[in-house]
Amino acid sequence: MNSKLMLLPYRVKGFGWAILAVGVAVGALILLAEMLSYLSESTPALESFTRILENDNVVRILNNVALIGSLAGAVLVGCSKEKFEDEMICVIRLNSLLQAFYLYIVAMCIAALFIYDFAFFYVMMVGLVAMPLLFVIIYRVRLYRLKKSLEDEK
């Protein structure tokens, strides 16, 4: 293995999780508000929330928080060292990155074939953060399985 792998220090992982959680939460709220905006006339509770999203400056700021927060958080989580870093962790990291890349390409090709018009715009917005999020999810699941199998052997 290449010993000159440029990874971030372990201490930034917690900060990355916090940024990632905020970015994903804001992005999910924006998408949910867009999908439920037609209910705002009949539901008073949603009316105040959708009224906030009518301001273009607020929407721009929230979009940037969601996009940059999700991307920066995923990079900090996925590219920081583990507490105990060895060659097996490096192999799992590389395999997770490749699997996330393959899944992302397949999903974007399917989206390009079957989704059109304005819905395609939403798919591409989600697609911007899908690759790093897929990597983090696959990587963490594989690390969990490795740790679980090591505990079972003891």
* Three-state SS annotation for the chain: CCCCCCCECCCHHHHHHHHHHHHHHHHHHHHHHHHCHHHCCCCHHHHHHHHHCCCHHHHHHHHHHHHHHHHHHHHHHHCECCCCCCHHHHHHHHHHHHHHHHHHHHHHHHHHHHCCHHHHHHHHHHHHHHHHHHHHHHHHHHHHHHHHHHHHHC
Average pLDDT across the chain, whole number: 85
Residues 27, 72, single domain; the answer is yes
* Of 1-15, 26-40, 137-151, minimum mean pLDDT range: 26-40
Q: Using 50, 70 and 90 to split pLDDT, how confident is the model at 22?
A: very high
> Which of 81, 99, 131 is the C-terminal boundary of a domain?
81
Residues 143, 114, single domain; the answer is yes
> Which of 81, 97, 112 is the C-terminal boundary of a domain?
81
pTM: 0.78
90, part of any domain: yes
> Which of 35, 50, 81 is the C-terminal boundary of a domain?
81
Q: What is the pLDDT of residues 119-154, one digit of tens each?
A: 787 788 888 888 999 999 999 999 999 988 888 877
Q: What is the pLDDT of residues 76-87, one digit of tens each?
A: 999 999 888 888
Residues 19, 74, single domain; the answer is yes
Q: Which domain holds residue 125?
A: 83-154
